Structure 1
Amino acid sequence: MTATIALIDDDRNILTSVGIALQAEGFTTRLYTDGESALKALIDNPPDLAVSDIKMPRLDGLEMLRRLREKSSLPVIFLTSKDDELDEALGLALGADDYIAKPFSQRLLIARIRAILRRVELSKVDPGEPSGEVPDPVVRGRLELDPARHRVHWAGSSVTLTVTEFMILEALAQRPDVVKSRSQLMDVAYQDDTYVDDRTIDSHIKRLRRKFRAVDPQFDAIETLYGAGYRFSDG
Structure 2
Amino acid sequence: MILFVEDDEVIRTSVAMALERYGYRVDVAEDGLTGLERFRRGGYDLLLLDVMLPGLDGIGLCRRIRETSLDPILMLSARGDSLDVVSGLEAGADDYVTKPVDTPVLVARIRSLLRRATFASTARADDPPQTGDRLVFGDVTIDPAALEVRRGGVHVSLAPTELRLLLEFAAHPGVVLNRRTLLRNVWDYGWDGDSRVVDLCVQRLRKKIGSERIETVRGFGYKLRR
TM over 0.5: yes
Stretch of structure 1 that moved more, 147-156 or 170-179: 147-156
Q: In structure 2, how many angstroms separate the alpha carbons of the residues matched to 1:204 and 1:102?
A: 17
Partner of 2:98: 102
Deviation per CA, 1:43-89, whole angstroms, max 9, x where unpaired? 3464333222232013323444566678x647251415443334433
| Candidates 47, 50, 56, aligned match of 2:44 | 47
* CA 192–155 in structure 1, closer or farther in 2 if over 3 Å, else same: same
Q: Where in structure 2 are there 5+ consecutive unaligned residues?
A: none
CA distance 1:187–1:214, shift in 2 (3 Å): closer
The Cα offsets for residues 21-48 of structure 1, whole Å up to 9 and x where unpaired, read as 5334432111222123333333346433
2:217 aligned partner: 224
2: distance between equivalents of 1:52 and 1:24?
20
Distance 1:229 1:12, change over 3 A: same
Q: Distance in 1 between matches of 2:43 and 2:25?
A: 13
Cα deviation, 1:88-145, whole Å, max 9, x if unaligned, reads 33x33xxx6x34253573112331133224434x25x323379xxxxx7643333334
Is residue 208 from structure 1 mapped to residue 205 from structure 2 by the alignment? Answer: no
Pair 1:88-2:72 in alignment: no
1:223 CA drift (Å): 4.4
Contact 2:59–2:87, Cα closer than 8 Å, also in 1: no
Unaligned runs of 5+ in 1: 131-135
The aligned amino acid for 1:83 is: S
Partner of 1:142: 139
TM-score, with length taken from structure 2:
0.68
Q: Is the 8 A contact 1:154 1:212 kept in 2?
A: no
Determine the C-alpha separation between the residues in 2 that align with 1:170 and 1:24.
34
CA RMSD of aligned residues (A): 3.8
SS of alignment partner, residue 41 of structure 1:
helix
Count of residues paired in the alignment: 213
Which residue number in structure 2 is paired with residue 9 of structure 1?
6
Measure, in 2, the Cα distance between the counterparts of 1:210 and 1:222: 14
Q: Counterpart of 2:225?
A: 233
**Contact 1:79-1:99 within 8 A present in 2 as well:** yes
Q: Which amino acid aligns with 1:100?
A: Y
Change (3 A) 1:12 1:115: farther
Normalising by structure 1, we get a TM-score of 0.66
Q: Which of the residues 179, 186, 189 maps onto 1:189?
A: 186
Paired residue type of 1:179: V
Equivalent-residue separation in structure 2 for 1:145 and 1:21 (angstroms): 39
Q: Partner amino acid for 2:56?
A: L
Q: Which residue matches 1:116?
A: 117
Q: What residue is the counterpart of 1:133 in the other structure? A: none
> In the TM superposition, what are the counterparts of 1:74-85 in structure 2 within 5 Å?
75-79=71-75, 81=77, 82-84=81-83, 85=86
* Identity score, percent: 26
